Amino acid sequence: MQDVIYTLPLVAQAHPTKRAELVGILGAALARHLGDAHSRRWYCALIWAAWRDECEGRPGLQTLAAQLARIAADIAEGAPWRNAGAVLAARLRPA
């Protein structure tokens, strides 16, 4: 998961013609790391939403990276969840 967290800021730096490919790779990696292969498109949409936030001046990629780091730490500590993707979605939901 660390590879996704460290690569996420590259979405902002990627050439526009290569950005979609990078988002697809990152989305697939997230789905694989979280054991949620059927939700690859959702993870890609999550990354695109974070990119949109960046374009609008909000720290979307940084926020997503921070939440992913927290999920990874929780998993390493033995979190009892069945679906880490659902926990991620709940944490990213606006209050």
pLDDT digits 0-9 by tens, 63-83: 999 999 999 999 999 888 888
Please give the model's pTM, rounded to 2 decimal places. 0.90
Neighbours of 28 (CB within 10 A): 16
State which amino acid sits at residue 4: V
Give 46: exposed, middle or buried? Use CB within 10 Å, 0-12, 13-18, 19+. buried
State how many domains the chain has. Answer: 1
d(CA 39, CA 44): 9
- The boundaries of the domain holding residue 75 are 1-92
Digit-coded pLDDT (tens) for 10-38: 999 999 999 999 999 999 999 999 988 89
CA 38, 59, 67, 72 torsion: positive or negative?
A: positive
